A = this chain, B = another copy of it.
Amino acid sequence: MIRPGDDLAGLLAEALRQANLAPRDGDVLVVCQKVVSKAEGRVVDLRSIEPSAFAAQIAAATQGKDARVVEIILRETTRIVRMDNGNLIVETGPGWVCANGGVDESNSGDPNLVILLPADPDASARRLADALQARCAARVAVIVTDTFGRPWRQGLVDFALGVAGMPALLDLRGDTDLDGRVLKHTVHAQADALAAAAGLVMRKGEGIPAALVRGYPFAPGDGSGRELIREKQFDMFR
């Protein structure tokens, strides 16, 4: 259970050591947003929140939503994408679209606390990568993830919010397929796929906040979770 101010990189390095997983150059460390946000103090005490009339109205229309939580969601919201049946699908941060703006009431360690998304998950990932390099002498890429629902499809999957040390996208446009036909649209969202893969071992309710991916080849270098956000003019689902 991480608390504000905890040395997350130190705790992760120690956990990796205990698991006999000394990080190596080219590993990818996937860390869930929740521990990052908690270590960074991105938590809000519900007792400090006075809901607006709009928040109270939304809460009244939904079954059992706390108006103070709705108020926090609205403060995290740059655009309400859909609002129906007690669901709030909103745009938050640099352009993530997710339920409740990523505001999270689970595993906060205190029923009065809710957890926000990290303010700048790329910077969080970069800090973790740098701290791990200092401690473990290995250049590790870091992906900060959260678990989102998807339109049209049931169930939740993990997605990349912040990325450091690798490109979030693997752009294969211009390469050729086995027939020699030029690939026109093939851009692999590799950071999202790594997040989803890590989600298979970071099982909910088991308190596993991080996973080390070894053996995935990638071009090291700068990267950003913002690569994964579709530009407005190409977004057909606004």
Contact = CB atoms under 8 A, between A and B. Distances in A.
A197 interface: yes
Contact of A216 (B109, B175, B200): B200
A177 B216 CA distance: 31
A232 to B, nearest CB: 10
A120 to B, nearest CB: 19
Interface stretch (A4-12, A49-57, A149-157): A149-157
A149 to B, nearest CB: 8
B205 A199 contact: no
Interface string A188-199: 111011101101
A178 interface: yes
Interface stretch (A17-25, A82-90, A125-133): A82-90
A152 B97 contact: yes
A14 interface: no
Contacts of A85: 234, 236
User: Which bracket fits the contact residues of A?
Assistant: 35 or more
B205 A109 contact: no
Nearest to A186: B204
- Sorted from nearest, which 7 A-B pairs have the closest CB atoms? A155-B189, A197-B197, A151-B237, A196-B196, A82-B236, A97-B152, A193-B196
Given A106-B181, A177-B106, A158 B193 contact: yes
A46 interface: no
Interface stretch (A66-74, A136-144, A222-230): A222-230
Contact of A187 (B110, B155, B169, B178): B155
A41 interface: no
A127 to B, nearest CB: 24
A207 interface: yes
A62 B236 CA distance: 16
A219 interface: no
| Most chain B Cβ neighbours within 10 Å, of A158, A183, A205, A235 | A205
